[in-house]
């Protein structure tokens, strides 16, 4: 299969590219390397073509999409905090960039688009677990832009008869996820723990998240690319298991075999209190089943992180939450 992966040098994107190449696919990777890392790219892969550029450049995107059977769109401005600081850039990349990818999909005749969306679009849950029919009430500019892009994906699917899967990632963690203020809590905790510094927890720590391994997210992408969804479809991608931030802090210290104090600060603007996915639809239609439990995932992540400090950049150009 010939594929285009936008944001393919980022955290999730690079893991996806690796899996596609291992499966024999020919991959064109488009990334502007604003946060994606060249060190994430496999070396000496004959089936990989790396293009440096931006999804805001339609002509470039169209050129990269030529001949592709499937397009995985992960390129994005990522993070609630960053979007509050620069909402214009957030909207340009996440909305206009997505429209460019969809236009290119039509022009090149690709059969399938897999779009990386985010659970941030739900806002504060009205009920748990969160299914795909849950009301959408985004509470940050990032969440608004991801929702708008998702709606464009579904509209393009209906109007142009292309197969589109929108994958709403919950809290993704794993190999190649770098430390920064915009990252998931996992690498932030890992960096502070291994540095012997207190773990900063915003709020009382009893807020809940659905932490899903990047390996499971990659598998969801591959499954979605193998389905024909001519009217477009949305899927929650998580584990269905909720974990408090306090419990995560305890788990990562247990796995590391060391302890540090926890320092509590005021809750951060734009972040929800509780979140856990209902993944019934992904199970039924995609055949998706998470395989990595939290303790296994934390152990694997810490093992990788110890060997790869320091890692610059955020969670990677084009990553879901």
Long-range pairs, 40-48, Cβ under 8 A, ≥24 = 40/9, 40/10, 40/11, 40/14, 40/176, 40/316, 41/9, 41/14, 41/17, 42/17, 42/18, 45/21, 47/21, 48/17, 48/21
CA distance 40 to 259: 30
For residue 192, is it left (φ>0), alpha (ψ between -120 and 50) or beta? Answer: alpha
Tokens describing residue 83 = 């979007």
Active site residue 142: yes
Of 115, 142, 152, 169, which is the active-site residue?
142
Is-contact 124 207, C-beta < 8 A? no
Phi, psi of 39 (to 5 degrees): -65, -15
Helix axis angle, 185-194 to 294-307, nearest 10°: 60
Cβ atoms 227, 163 nearer than 8 A: yes
Are 62 and 99 in contact by the 8 Å Cβ rule? The answer is no
Residues noted as catalytic: 142
């Amino acid at each position: 299969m010939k594929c285009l992966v936008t944001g393919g040098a980022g955290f999730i994107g690079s893991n996806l590219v690796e899996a596609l190449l291992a499966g024999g696919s020919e991959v064109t990777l488009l990334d502007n390397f604003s946060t994606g890392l060249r060190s994430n790219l496999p070396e000496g892969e004959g089936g990989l073509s790396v293009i440096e550029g931006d999804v805001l450049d339609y002509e470039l995107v169209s050129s990269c999409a030529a001949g592709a059977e499937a397009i995985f769109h992960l390129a994005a401005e990522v993070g609630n905090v960053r979007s509050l600081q620069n909402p214009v850039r957030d909207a340009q990349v996440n909305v206009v960039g997505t429209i460019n990818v969809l236009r290119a999909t039509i022009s090149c005749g690709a059969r399938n688009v897999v779009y990386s969306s985010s659970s941030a679009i739900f806002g504060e849950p009205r009920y748990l677990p969160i299914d795909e029919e849950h009301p959408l009430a985004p509470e940050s500019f990032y969440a608004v832009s991801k929702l708008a892009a998702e709606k464009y994906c579904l509209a393009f699917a209906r109007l142009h008869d292309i197969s589109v899967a929108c994958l709403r990632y919950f809290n993704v963690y794993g190999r190649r996820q770098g430390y920064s203020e915009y990252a998931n809590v996992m690498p932030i905790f890992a960096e502070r723990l291994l540095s012997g510094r207190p773990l900063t927890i915003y709020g009382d720590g009893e807020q809940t998240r659905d932490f899903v391994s990047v390996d499971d997210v990659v598998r969801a992408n591959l499954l979605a690319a193998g389905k024909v969804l001519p009217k477009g479809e949305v899927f929650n991608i998580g584990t269905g298991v909720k974990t408090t931030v306090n419990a995560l802090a305890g788990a990562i210290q247990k796995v590391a075999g060391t302890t540090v104090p926890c320092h509590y600060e005021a809750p951060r603007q734009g972040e929800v209190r509780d979140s856990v996915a209902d993944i019934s639809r992904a199970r039924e239609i995609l055949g998706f089943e998470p395989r990595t439990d939290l303790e296994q995932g934390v152990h694997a992540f810490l093992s990788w992180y110890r060997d790869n400090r320091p890692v610059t950049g955020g969670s990677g150009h084009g990553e879901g939450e």
